[in-house]
Amino acid sequence: LLNMLCDIMADSCTSMVSDLYIYLSIIYLSIILSIYLSIHTVTLHHLKAGGSTFILKSTVAALGRPFCLGMLYDCRRDQLVPGLTLWDHEDLKNNIREKPQNYSDFEIIASESIEDKSQALKVEASLKASFLSGLVEVGGSAKYLNDKKASKDQARVTLQYKATTKFQELSMYHLGRGNVKHPYVFDKGIATHVVTAITYGAQAFFVFDRSVSEKEDHQDIQGNLKVMIKKIPGLAIEGEGSLNMEDKDIANVKEFSCRFHGDFSLQKPPSSFQDAVEVYQNLPTLMGVHGENTVPMRVWLLPLTVLDSTAAHLIRQISIRLVQGVQRVLEDFSELEMRYSDALRTATAHQFPQVGKKLKSFKQMCLLFKLEFQQNLAKKLQSIRGGGEEEAALAEILMKKQSSPFNSENLNVWMDCKEREISILKSFTNMMKNTKIIPSQNGLHEETLSAEHAVCFIFTSLGSAEPYLSALSNYLKVSIKPDDPQDPHAHDVEKEQWYLSKQVFDTLREKKGVSQHRVQDQPSGGF
């Protein structure tokens, strides 16, 4: 449409020789352009103003942040600017237009990906980048974005309830030429946009989890969970407070746990399926008769450069391709966090402290790297949006991560090795029945002092140094560029594992058999 307008202007300038006609043509095109900008709903528009490019950001998700009409907003940091306004409080309260916007719906979410959670909350790519970097702190129902599965042995399905009640906007009394009461605010350079309209409502997420045992099929449990959650909007609580369900279904849902993230004030958050049904039924009432308990859901932003061309503005946005790259990095870390948390919870990790110690060290280094990655990301986002750097600066961060020892492939290979090691140790301990496992040298001394005969089977390789862990540690201590040569120990992770040595493994099996034979030959007083 912008190209079409430019063509029209060019034709007009050619055909209309009179200055009057040219002047009227420009006014006509300005009116069309204003209408186009006021009704256009795409999130980002690139316009020219005073020779420099700025971006018109039309709407953003509120995400539990305390927006109000007339509030200033800095899109470079995706943060509110409290305390300063362009109008007096009384001026803001008066002449606000309002219209009802009654709507409600529910949705079932069976995915745990950042992408699907963002879509549920209508978070566009740029705001998502700010959230992933830690620039945006969410509240209310948006805390759902931070709710992650603690274990891979966990089935999860989420029920989302969403409703809107009204739409409010500023009028030309506020936005008209000469109506800004405090124009000096433009000179501060601390904001890029002003809030001109808000949709109010509320939403809630009921997150249901169920543990999945080794004997159960994860997909079957997930499917069953989804079927039961879909029934909630149509369920009723009977007079005695019991669910109107078949006995087998009631027994089934007792295994579900529930966590609640919402924009509603509850006396007690639901923790069970039945609690969730009761809360869900009361959600429309909790918003208030006239919607007085609702919160901002979606916010419309107007660039300050529309009101004053000298105001600070958003120079460029982050491409979706790079946002997706950042998203993949953090999703990989989330998956890794589940894996090492599961490994640390195993009995084997407690029985063999050397294994647990390495896992804890690995966990701490991953968390530290992730934090540094997010901090660097936050700095680059602000700089790029403000025009201080090009997008290539963000691409370099992603490239540096990929070329580091912390690349996803190496991290996951190391976890594969630890999970295999735990599985092998578990297999050996299961075969050596009636054998006491002692985790420390001090514990061994105590046991040998109280026994007449003792046969010790010692796993000597568990405490061996792992060069890959050293490579991770060294990387965190120094600043390395993407094209710098990497520590050779950052690769070939599998070659370092003791159980892949045929000699060690054969010796292990042989001595396991010898120790079992000797234990059987000992009198009952030994162990």
Tokens linked to 357: 């110690």
d(CA 384, CA 10): 34
Range 122-141 average pLDDT: 97
CA-closest candidate to residue 527, choices 459, 447, 460, 431: 447
pLDDT in tens, 308-352: 888 888 888 899 999 999 999 999 999 999 999 999 999 999 989
Q: How sure is the predictor about 479, in pLDDT bands with cuts at 50, 70 and 90?
A: low
Q: Does pLDDT of 41 surpass 50?
A: no
Instruction: Indicate left, alpha or beta for 70 from its phi (over 0: left) and psi (-120 to 50: alpha).
Output: left
pLDDT at position 240 is 61
pLDDT at position 515 is 57
Measured in whole angstroms, the distance separating CA 46 from the mean position of its chain's CA atoms is 28
The DSSP code for 204 is: E
Range 55-80 average pLDDT: 90
How much is the mean pLDDT over the chain? 83
The DSSP code for 145 is: G
Place of tokens 């701490």: 364
pLDDT in tens, 239-285: 666 777 888 888 899 999 999 999 999 999 999 999 999 999 999 99
Q: Does pLDDT of 527 surpass 60?
A: no
pLDDT at position 53 is 43
- Percentage above 90 pLDDT, the chain: 58
Range 106-113 average pLDDT: 94
pLDDT in tens, 340-396: 999 999 999 998 999 999 999 999 999 999 999 999 999 999 999 999 999 999 999
Beta bridge partner(s), residue 355: none
Instruction: Indicate left, alpha or beta for 58 from its phi (over 0: left) and psi (-120 to 50: alpha).
Output: alpha
pTM above 0.75, yes or no: yes
CA distances from 314 to 58, 77, 81, 170, 300 (A): 13, 10, 15, 22, 15
d(CA 319, CA 411): 27
Domain boundaries in the chain?
2-39, 50-306, 320-432+466-497
Q: 176 versus 83: which is more confidently predicted?
A: 83
Tokens linked to 468: 């890959």
